[in-house]
Each structure stands twice: as structure tokens, then as C-alpha cells.
Structure 1
């Protein structure tokens, strides 16, 4: 029997002892109660209840980082549940306690001995003496023989006959004192384990090029402008993390021309300020798009226009980007969020791949990331979640099929530029509406878990599906919302044990797991967002700076 299984049986046995002793106390006449217990039986039962509460808290503290909230609740409610027998849970507990595991379990076994010593003096097994069954089969036999029943939210035990308790007052006190001492040791071990697992704190703090609320508003405004003027489209926003202040005024996206012309067109979106009539400066988005290399722009007026109101309002972006010989063009999004254009912008080589490559394609091709590309991609994805989580670009969860690479690394066209990832989104007018407030989930737990999955996939260069085991699947043998959580949790423990995971990645992936288990995890909450920046983005960014400058 594993140590964690013993811990569960103790958890279920102590309430049974308390109920049996209360039953025994209720059957005593006042004279016998006074002469045998000197009126102290109630105090002893209360002391046992206190120690049980302390034990429960120690177990909760121990299980918190290795089990989901749902798993913890199941285990605390059912001391014989199969989760207590889980090899994976036992291994996770050993990893959490480290070299304190053996002494921790020795203390749990001592608590088991104390509980058994009290149980042996109770006749709560029907016609059989408790001592016979307990000595032969341990606490499991006693717990299984008295399953608790729920009544008004409390556990109630039933006994077939009057309960008798044959133990001296002095011995009961001694056992309770020892139980208290054991609980104090468990608290000490659990607290030290918690301190040892405190998240890695980076010396640096991530700095974005503009306030996050500004980035969110601009990204949302851009998405809605494309949505209104393009009936059926694919668009990909370039993901990047930069400390250059000039980048605060620019977004980069690519637009897919059509299935007949399978070509992605780069688009640069600039925030420009144009003074309206009241002389207050209002931000405006300017969009610039490239042409295929070698195409000369026609002779049209130079840009930028000093007065964007002279530009026509664009109602159909699709017809414009499909125009043959399409040059680099500019669009403006005015203060009324109307798309206006077009005018030419400075041309440059696009360096596009012939066919877009997704992150999933790279995994299936067993692509090996360089160390610098690996860190760059992980930092970029982490910062993108923080910046775009509550915009239409990322209103729902994401995965490797949503991350695309459109640019070549060099002129050969044979390699992908990992430093230029895009977040792809598709829209069709059929049965879909614009992403509004109702499109956003109540929390960001799935998105944060998805980021953790992406980090694991990138580090291991494998899709998460290839890491799944039968025990990770749901009752119907299909993957469910917990499947990838179990995979990532197992993977991170294995990598930590083998010493193949840096502190930065351990902090980032672990926090994604913890955030998934917390139903209040919403990046709209400033505290939650700051914690994600500090424990996910900052550690990765700091390690990248140390390694590559």
C-alpha cells in the first residue's frame, strides 16, 4: 500500500472514530461517565476533532499543486477513491516532497498506528472485535465497513449496536498528544515543500510598448474594420514582443487574397494622429499592404495624405486586395472607425513562403528548433496571450494549428522564419457573427492551459496528442478538457526529475497548470494578468536575455 493511500485511509478513519466515540458518549450514564472519564470525554473528542481538521489542512496543502480542484474535492470526500491508489499521484507527491517524502510518510504511518490503537478498543465491527479486523487488514477494512452517508451536508455513520470503548483516560491523552505532535511535523514538511516550490522570480519585469488597454483597443478596432469590409476572409496578425517604443504605433497582419490566388499579403497597420476640427488629436489606424516581388506600383498620388477625409471609404476590401498587379497600398481607419483608402506606401520584398506553414506542420515534420528560436517563439506566444486575450483575435482558445509562419528565413525559401509567427483567424459570413462580449468565455483557464500545452510542444518538438496515454482519456476513451492537463503535468514532472527543464520553463508551464485549475483565472483581472507576466513571460524573457543578449 502506497504512502498516499495510507494518508487517504487515515483521512477517512478519524471521522469514523469521532462518530463512534460520540455514539459511545451518548450511551453512558452520568455516573459512569464521571467516574471513568472525570467529565473529560467530550474534551477528548473535541481534541480529536481539532487534530482531524489540522490533518485535513495538511493534506489539502500537500495536494494543491499536484491535483486539480475537482480531484482534491473527490479525494477529500472519498477516502477510498481510486485517486488515492493512483501511481501518478504517488509519484507527483514524491516529487513535491523530495527527500522529505520518506519521513513524511513515516509520520503518516505513525498517525495510522495511533488511529488503529484507538479503533482496536472500539467494538464498531458488528459481532467481530474491531481489533481482529483492524490488525489483519488495517484501516481499510474499518473504513469500508462503515461508508459515510451525507445528511444536510455532513457525513453520518451508522452503527449496528451500542458502541463500547475500552481504553484508559491516560492512554487516550497520550495518543492525542502524539497525534498533535505528528500533525505539527506534517505542517512543517508541507510548508517547507511549498517554500521550495515558490515560483521562479525574474529580476526583470516585462515592458510593453504601450498600455495593454491601448493595445487591446487598437487590435479590436482593426479586427472589426476587417470584419466589416471583408465578407469572407483569412487574416493573420503578426505576434511579436518588442521593447522598441516606435512599435507601439504599428501592428503587422497578413491577408489571404483568395483560394484562386493563394497568396498572403503583408499589411502594416500604423496608428497616426490627425487633428479633427476641435484641434484635439485623435488616433487613426493606417494599413499598408505589399505586392508580389517585381510588380511596379502604378503612377498614383504620393502618400500619406495630409487629410484622410479626402480618401474614399472602403466598403469592400476583398475586391481591392484581389486586384491584379496589386501594389503596396495604404488604408486609414479614421476616428469613426471607417476604413479609408487607398494610397501607395514604400515597397519592399515580402520574402513569403509559397505555402503557409503551421506550427502543427513543423511538429509533424519533426522540425528541430534552435535554442534561440525556441525561446523567441515561447516569449512571443506568451506576450501575445497577455496582449490579445480579450480581443476578437483570441476570444476563444488556441492551439498549434492557429500559429502560422509565412516568411522565409533566407532567400533559399527552404527554411521558415520562426521569429515571425502569426496568429491566424478565419471568418465566413455563413452562420457567424462578429466577436462580441458574449463570445468571450467567463474565464481564461482554457487559453492559459493551451499556452502551457504550446510551450511543452515547442520544447519537446512533439504534438501533445503523441504524449497521451489511455489513462489521460475520459470514460468514453476520448480526450476531454482534463486530458492535456494530465499530459502536461506528467511531462513537467518527468522533465524536472531528469533535470532537463530550466527554471524559467518550469515556472511558466507550472503557472499555466495552476491557472487552469483556478476558475477565477481571467486576464481582465489586473492581479491575474500581473502574475502571468511575472511567472510566465518574465522568466522566459530573462533566460533568453541571459543566453542570447
Structure 2
């Protein structure tokens, strides 16, 4: 038994297969550099190429028995850095499939790797210089050296063919038997964790919206509307604790003076999950979240919003707060005035101090701290400037200069859109029918910095101050600035899409991905076509600006073509399919262009 096989049996079959694939690739690349030296090397290249293709095909079909997804299997074979190569679940499922034949499989693949290494060493002995392949003397020397090694090369090719035949017989055996491991919709551990994280973030953001809508009160007569902006980038939850970055602003009736300072606030949100109060008490892990950067900017003769700038580098240290000495904001007549006064009073302090909290009826608490002390990521950015304006993605896409968007930024923006749908679909932040103007950034164009500020928006109509605790603020729908306004039944009816659309959220994602790819708004591209469904399919069948892989992702979203048994995004099966066939491929595109 070779050392490779021993390592494979100790770590599992996956490492052995991965090493053989990498060995085939490295040796194949070496042959490509030298095959033009002699005709004998060209024949050898063709023979080795066929052996490699057969081996990769057998490995792909073997992985398909485990994953039940031909696209994922092909991606693993193509990309040796694919995350599934390191996934414990894939290794476990493959071991369960092979059972007593695991050793035989490892032996076959290990011998393949050993033969490839031997083949590669023989190539090295030829001492071929890629800079002098056309010289007569060089070619004569290579031919003489090849004659000496020819029989050994041929023996290696024969061995590789035999090992491929052995692997083929083993794979056919398991293909023809009933295999209960895993189910036809096998899901890896990584995928399952990602979907659970999306669900946790979605629940926490929904609870946050409900709390703000029902508990926020304001008696300031100059405040017409309150805006809440939620950053779409959220770290992975830890123990059901979610970190969300937020900004809150207000439309003003009268312009504000130019000297109004920027007010920074830090809010820690605690979302309690569980079946009963005992479980809730045991799971009180803070949801590090919410950065409120309240700024009152000046615009002559126009309502002046209190613009809030979000911090993407918020520290995640756990903060404890004694609520006995903290103000319950649900009992404050004007939350806006309280937060502004408290923030200004403690602006020179070097430590964080809880200046209030909100509690919802669904076991959630939001602790508000302010301001951030010097040295924190948010304050280190300095005061807001006139360039810190909020711009919708539609306005950015519609700019003539957007046609020169960097390819990496297009992929990154598309990835954030896909993740946003899984995290916030069918919530107050992202309704089932949504558009690109529902998302905004801080800035007027797409850069690395502005992408980190990508956010969704919702707004609450000003409620007349009544009793302490406030009155529920009004309903909301999106406006051109990403804020929201009252929705009527007629508006909701008009927002329905074509009956041919199986999933509205995913169809809208496909539309937005098209806009990102073409750097044009959908209204501009549809050329007056009254049916958005047929217009989208006409556009996607045209030349693909971002390549065929990206176009395939868009097509899946438009048609809800994920091979899942459900077309409801609430269903975990469809969520897993969207993650594996939209989110992960976009991550791969970002990774490839960043390399």
C-alpha cells in the first residue's frame, strides 16, 4: 500500500481524489509547454489527454452519486479550490456510498497519482527548454532522450488506462445499485448552515422592523417622516445572535442651520430565540448591530433629512448594560429628541454608555449606545462631507459613466443582490415585487467603499404624539429614494407580475442582474415591451456582457429553474437550490476575477 493510499484512508477518499486531479492538471500543463518539440511528444500529449478526460469523467460521475447535482459535481472537478472539497458532509456521504469498497477506491486513485508522478519525472528528464523548441540540435537531443524513455512512457499510459477502467467498473457497480445515501436532494453541511444563517438574519431584521414601527414615537413637529436604512452585509450569526447595521434619519419640515453637528449612535440588539422563557434566558446573546449616524444636512427651500452614515467595521465586543438605570424608549414621548440630547451630552466621553433601549412584544430588546468613542471604526471616518449623499442603484446604473463599471464591481454587486433576496425576501425591507431602486449606497458611484454601504430602506410616517410609549407609525412602501410610503390595495394589485412568473422575488432578482450586466435600466432595455416577462427573456437571449455562466444564473432566476420541488422561497429546498446555483456561482466569479 502506497503512502498516498494510507493518507487517503486516514483522511477519507476525497483528499486522494483531489490530489489525483491536481496531479493530472499539473502534468498536463507541463506537456502543453513542450509538445511542439517533437511529433512523439504530440502523440504522447493526445494519449495523456484522453486518460485525464476519462479520469475526470469518472470522478464527476462518482461525485454525482453523492451530490445528486450535475452542476455542483462539474464545478468541483473544474475548481480544485471549491469549498465542497473541504466539506465533511461530502466525505461522509462518499464513505457511506463506498462502504466496504472505500479501500479499493483509494487504492485505484492512489496508484493513478503515483503513476502521474512517475510520468512527470520522466518529462523532467527530457530537459526541454521552452525557449528553444525550434532548434535542430535541441529537437534531435529531445528525440534521442524520448527514445530512451519511450517504453516507460507507454507503460505509464497503459497503467493509467487500466486504473480508469477499474474506477469505471467500481462506479458502474454503485450506479446500478439502490443508494439510500444520500437523498436525491443531498445537502452539504456548509449549505445547510448558510441557509440557517439567512433565516436567522431574516427573522431578526423582521423583528427589528416591527419594533421600530410600533414602539418609535416622535413629538418633534419638524419631523415629517423617519427613514430606517438596513445594510445588506451581515456577518454570520453566532448562537442565534445577529449583527445588523442601521441608520435612522428624518425628513424635516424646515431647513436646518449649517452648523448642526453629526450625531453618532451605536445600538446593540438582543434577539431572544427559543420555545419558552427558560430557554430565552439561557440564550440571551447580544445581536451586535445597528449603527445610527444621525446627521442633519441643509438644503435650501427643501425638507432636510437627518442623514445617517453606516459603519461597516463595528466592533463586536460584548457589552453589558444595567437596564435598571437605562431609559425605556417605549415610554419616552419623543425618541428622536431623547437620542439627540443624550448623544450631544456624552459626545466627549471616551466610553460607551447605554442611553436607552426598546423592547418588542416578541422577546427582542435593542440597546442604544452613544456616541462611539474616539478610535472606533465609525468615528475614525471623520465627519460627513457633501459627498456622503444617498444614491439609489437605479440612478447610478442610469448614469452614462456607469457603462464603464469595473467587472469585479458588477460581480460583487450581483452577489450582494442574491444574498439580499435570501436574507430579506418578503419582509418590510424587501417585498416580493422589488426593483433596483429599492437599494441605495452612500456615494454617487460604485466603488469598494460605496458597495460596503449598500442598504435597503423603509420609512414610517410621522405619528402625532399621544401617550408615552408612542403610537404605531404608518404603513410603508418604497419611494424613489429607497424610502417607503403608504400602500393601497390598488397599488398592490398593479404591482403583480405576469402569470408566467413562478416566483416574483427571484424574477425581480433576474431583472436586477440583467441591469447590472448591461449597465442599463430595465425600462431602457425593454424598448416599450408591455410584458416584463417576455422582455426579460428577449434581453437574456442576447449577447451576454458578463459571460455564459452569468447568463445561466440570470436564466435560472427568471424561470425559477432550480430543479427544486417547490417554487416558494419560504421552502428550505428552494433556498438551498438558490444558494448552490446562484450565490455560490457568483462567489466563484468574484473569486476568479479577484485572483
TM-score (norm 1): 0.50
